[in-house]
Amino acid sequence: SIAGKKGTVLIFFRSASWCPYCQAQLKDVRALPAELAKRGYTLAAISYDSHEKLADFAGRQSVNYTLLSDKDSKMIDAFGLRDPAYAKGNFAYGVPRSTVLVIDAKGVVRRKLSTDDYKVRPNNAAILAAVDAR
């Protein structure tokens, strides 16, 4: 299980291999695991990237949280986050909209930070504020 005592912060991102906005976000959130742990939460991030691509990025960037591969976009689709801008056959088909979910220990989504603009991401302060909101 990747869940903390109180829950998980789950980041849906486009790609660690080709999206510079995702790469920047994934580097920035390396500052969050300790703060989230104090609050009883863990951090994980998920994309349609392969395990190999995620492992390569994690190794090069010293990622200190869990990266999850959703190669067939099943979780992305289950949460209704697939970006409809990319048709089947496009290399980006299956990517999610950039989204952060705060999920409690029972699996209930308590907060959602999302945007249709792939260049815009919530900063760490916004993520912590979402966790702290009751």
What is the Cα 128 distance to its own chain's centre?
14
Return the domain boundaries, the chain: 7-132
Q: Taking the chain (134 residues) in consecutive chunks of 10 residues, what is each chunk's mean pLDDT? A: 91 96 98 98 98 98 97 96 95 96 96 94 97 89
For residue 2, the model assigns a pLDDT of 84
The dotted CATH code for 7-132 is: 3.40.30.10
For residue 3, the model assigns a pLDDT of 86
For residue 79, the model assigns a pLDDT of 96
Give the separation between CA 89 and CA 112, rounded to whole angstroms.
29
pTM over 0.75: yes
Please provide the DSSP assignment of 71-108 as one string.
TT-HHHHHTT-B-TTS-TTSTTTTPBPPEEEEEETTS-
